[in-house]
């Protein structure tokens, strides 16, 4: 496993909540917004401005509006968060029958979720709803817009764009088998943008490898393992360098040439690797929170890039939600913009 100066230079872990689950996070302007599920199923929000955290605020048990119907729809966990403009954050979720749900936090005002609908397939002239198989994920390449991805009921990767007021029709990006056919996707996916042109979808294979599917502005690559340069060298002894992930990855984009990916390691530690605009690093361990160290729980991870700051959230087996912020010197971001 790589030992990088960039990874060593980081802040300590800080506790920001207890007895909460399924974090989602976004930087909106100068505020770092963290959403999570409370012990009674409510949607909770806590924000940081500068070094000051606000008290935890409840946004109520999340439900979704369905057109003019009065009966609200329950919302599945986990959620995902995507900052699109100024102090606005879009929340995305899955409905109980695979519907895409969308809600907006504007300033301090929470609009609640609305049902966008479920993906459909045309069968003998009849539209057959398929439903989303897992939670949606999103990234933004341009202010006021976002790209949303989810796995459909037939196992295909689905994509829709939001232009600030409405969603496009869901399109299929094909099946999820990685190149070679022997690395199917396991668990949730995560999306990240790298400038206006590049997007990436990250997933974990059933063998624990980190997989990536890339958009280069004109087309999508198939899912393939992420490899650092030394791991591509057939003469390099990679057996000690390949680290199986024990959770689905979460990813964030840090400008026009920076991508960061985090996951739980086999020992319960937080693993990190990044794209610097040219190559991928190998995984490094950011350790565990607490003293003595407390392993992280299964998949309760989130991350978000702000202005020159990357924040990571991880829930540990002690029931506490921790925040850690690796610090990056400007030389690591010379080609990036936020």
Domain membership flag for residue 148: yes
pLDDT band at 146 (very low <50, low <70, confident <90, very high): very high
Whether 51 is covered by a domain: the verdict is: yes
Structure tokens at 171: 């399109």
The predicted model gives 227-256 an average pLDDT of: 73
Spatial distance between the Cα atoms of 27 and 206, rounded to a whole number of angstroms: 31
pLDDT given at position 276: 87
DSSP 327: -
Q: How far apart are the first and last CA of the chain?
A: 29
Is residue 234 a part of any domain in this protein?
A: yes
* Residue 156: CB atoms within 10 Å: 20
- Cα distances from 109 to residues 17, 88, 104, 105, 136, in angstroms, run 22, 10, 8, 6, 23
**Residue 332: inside a domain:** no
**Residue 337 pLDDT grade (very low, low, confident, very high; cuts 50, 70, 90):** very low
Say if residues 323 and 20 touch (Cβ distance below 8 Å): no
pLDDT tens profile 244-273: 899 999 999 988 889 999 999 999 999 999
User: Would the pLDDT of 26 be above 70?
Assistant: yes
Question: Does 20 reside within a domain?
Answer: yes
DSSP string, 155-182: SEEEEEEE-SS-BPPPEEEEE-PPTTSS
Taking the C-alpha atoms of residue 275 and residue 277, their distance in angstroms, rounded to an integer, is 6
| Token code pair at residue 180 | 């070679």
Outline where 136-292 has alpha helix (H): 229-232
> Could you report the per-residue pLDDT of 148-179, keeping only the tens digit for each?
999 988 788 999 999 999 999 888 888 777 65
Q: What is the reported pLDDT for 260? A: 95
In a domain, 57, yes or no: yes
* Counted domains in the chain: 1
| DSSP result, 98-115 | S-EEEEEEETTEEEEEEE
Query: How far apart, in whole angstroms, are the C-alpha atoms of residue 286 and residue 172?
Result: 36
pTM for this prediction: 0.89
Residue 110 has what pLDDT? Answer: 96
Phi and psi based region of residue 50 (left: phi greater than 0; alpha: psi -120 to 50; beta: remaining): left
Q: What backbone torsions phi and psi does residue 262 show, to the nearest 5 degrees?
A: -130, 150
Higher pLDDT among residues 305 and 68, named by residue: 305
Q: Answer for the pair 204, 158: CB distance below 8 angstroms, yes or no.
A: no
What pLDDT score does 234 carry? 55
Is 338 among the domain residues? Answer: no
Instruction: Please classify residue 81 by burial: count the beta carbons closer than 10 Å to its beta carbon, then call 0-12 exposed, 13-18 middle and 19+ buried.
Output: buried
Residue 90: domain span: 5-324
pLDDT tens by residue, 51-82: 899 999 999 999 999 977 677 999 999 999 99
| Mean per-residue pLDDT, 13-33 | 95
| Residue 125 belongs to domain with CATH number | 2.120.10.70
pLDDT at 315 over 90: yes
Is 61 part of any domain?
yes
Tokens 């087996």 -> residue:
317
């Amino acid at each position: 496993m790589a030992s990088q100066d960039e990874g060593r230079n980081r802040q300590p872990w800080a506790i920001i909540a207890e007895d909460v689950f399924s974090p989602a996070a976004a930087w909106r302007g100068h505020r770092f917004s963290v959403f999570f599920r409370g012990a009674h199923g409510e949607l909770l929000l806590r924000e940081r401005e500068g070094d000051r955290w606000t008290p935890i605020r409840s946004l109520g048990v999340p439900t979704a509006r369905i057109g003019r119907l009065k009966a609200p729809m329950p919302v599945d966990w986990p959620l995902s968060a995507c900052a699109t403009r100024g102090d606005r954050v879009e929340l995305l979720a899955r409905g109980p029958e695979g519907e895409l749900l969308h809600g907006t936090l504007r300033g301090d005002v929470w609009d609640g979720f609305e049902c966008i609908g479920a993906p459909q397939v045309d069968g003998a002239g009849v539209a057959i709803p398929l439903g989303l198989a897992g939670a949606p994920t999103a990234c933004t390449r341009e202010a006021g817009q976002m790209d949303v991805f989810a796995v459909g009921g037939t196992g295909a990767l689905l994509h829709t764009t939001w232009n600030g007021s409405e969603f496009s029709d869901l399109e299929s990006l094909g099946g999820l088998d990685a190149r070679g056919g022997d690395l199917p996707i396991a668990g949730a996916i995560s999306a990240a943008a790298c400038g206006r042109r590049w997007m990436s979808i990250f997933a974990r294979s059933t063998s624990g490898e980190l997989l990536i599917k890339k958009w280069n502005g004109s087309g999508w690559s198939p899912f393939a393992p992420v490899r650092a340069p030394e791991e591509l060298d057939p003469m390099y002894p990679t057996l000690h360098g390949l680290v199986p992930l024990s959770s689905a990855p979460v990813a964030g984009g840090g400008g026009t040439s920076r991508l960061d990916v985090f996951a739980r390691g086999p020992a319960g530690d937080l693993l990190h690797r990044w794209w610097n605009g040219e190559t991928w690093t190998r995984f490094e361990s950011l350790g565990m929170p607490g003293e003595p160290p407390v392993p992280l729980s299964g998949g309760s991870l989130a991350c978000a890039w702000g202005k020159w700051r990357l924040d990571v959230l991880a829930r540990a087996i002690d029931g506490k939600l921790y925040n850690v912020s690796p610090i990056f010197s400007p030389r690591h971001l010379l080609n990036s913009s936020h």
